[in-house]
Amino acid sequence: MAAAALEFLEAQRVTQPELAEWYMALADLYQRKLWHQLTLKLDQFLALAVVQAGDALIQLYNHFISDFETKINLLKFAHFTVVISRQYLDKDAGINYLEGVILKLQDTRESRVEEPILYVKMQIATFLLEKGNQKDCKKLLEEGKTTLNSLVDVDPSIHASYYWICSQYHNACQDYSEFYKSALLYLAYTTVESLSEPFKQNMAFDLSLAALLGENIYNFGELLAHPIPALVKNERRLHEKINVLCLMDIVFSRSSHDRTIPLHDIAERTRLSIEDVEYLLMKSLSAHLIEGIIDQVDGIVHVSWVQPRVLGIEQVKSLRDRLDTWVGKVHTTLLSVEAETPDLISS
């Protein structure tokens, strides 16, 4: 078996020269039976994007890792198999593979084998949820919670995997409060450095939405204290955007012939000083959100144009009322012209 494993690594080294040094290092550590160092090297190797395409990791497991899988740290072995399982295009095939891994872990009869087994089961729960099988996913989560509560000194990756799939299950069920709790617990057991920027942005968005929609969530302190939301460090920019939107709403709410606005009216609505209102107007003018002239002497702004925007129901109603008023005025003017100049109209 050892010879077959080495032959596989040599074949891979030849066919993938860009990874030649990796395969040579794996072969060297394997031959010297340095299982701990081999585990660390494999951990780095499996994280490479280039080997996560196709079925490269499945082949690596079948022809190499399977030869010494239970000689290395079992939790690390579980980590490896979860990464490998994601290369199966068919989720049922991925589940079957992981169920086989669980049997191998059970056969070791190690004292702390429940931890790696739980980690693997949470990936099975993930596959079930992705298949739309919420019932069996929930069952595994309930069993996982019982197991987790019975363990002591648990590795953070176990907690993270459990709370992650919990968060995804509750998100699928649109239970925003439970998603919020589970997602924050997941983050509590995960280092921010290990998360990609797109993942952090998506998580921050989902958490913020859940905080707004979830029942009985009135304290956002824990969310705002976490480094993944960019809300706190961008507070000034957000506040500025809110004020600009408020200004545009003030302008839009007025009819086209009533857009000479006192600066103190804007200050009252935005809760800004007159100086800050002037800065807000200049910012809006430079960004072409509005067009007009600021009269600092009289303390007013003449707005001639405001950027079009998507209208809500109330704003559409307001626009309808303005059109009705305009039609009424046009009709009145027409009647007046007809009454005063009948000869001209008849001719």
The per-residue pLDDT for 337 is 76
- Measuring CA to CA, how many Å separate 187 from each of 177, 195, 227? 16, 10, 10
pTM over 0.95: no
Q: From start to end of 94-158, where are the E strands?
A: none
Q: Pick from 172, 168, 179: which is nearest to 212 by CA?
A: 179
- Angle among Cα 51, 1, 41 to the nearest 5 degrees reads 35
β-sheet with 290-295: strand ranges across: 260-262, 300-306, 290-295
The per-residue pLDDT for 345 is 54
Contacts of 338 (CB under 8 A, 6+ apart): 345
The per-residue pLDDT for 346 is 56
The per-residue pLDDT for 221 is 66
The per-residue pLDDT for 34 is 95
The per-residue pLDDT for 338 is 74
The per-residue pLDDT for 310 is 53
177, two tokens: 């409060």
The per-residue pLDDT for 21 is 95
| Residue 317 burial (C-beta neighbours within 10 Å; 0-12, 13-18, 19+) | exposed
Report d(CA 84, CA 47) in Å as an integer. Answer: 11
Q: Pick from 238, 305, 244: which is nearest to 270 by CA?
A: 244
Dihedral angle of Cα 302, 304, 308, 312, to the nearest 10 degrees: 50
The answer to whether 300 and 278 are in contact (CB under 8 A) is no
The per-residue pLDDT for 231 is 56
Q: Pick from 140, 44, 130, 122: which is nearest to 88 by CA?
A: 130
CA dihedral for 243, 245, 251, 253, sign (positive or negative): negative
Walk along the chain (347 residues) in steps of 10 and give the mean pLDDT of each run: 89 93 95 95 91 89 94 95 95 97 93 94 97 96 95 94 97 93 93 88 88 75 70 65 84 81 92 92 89 92 80 68 80 79 58
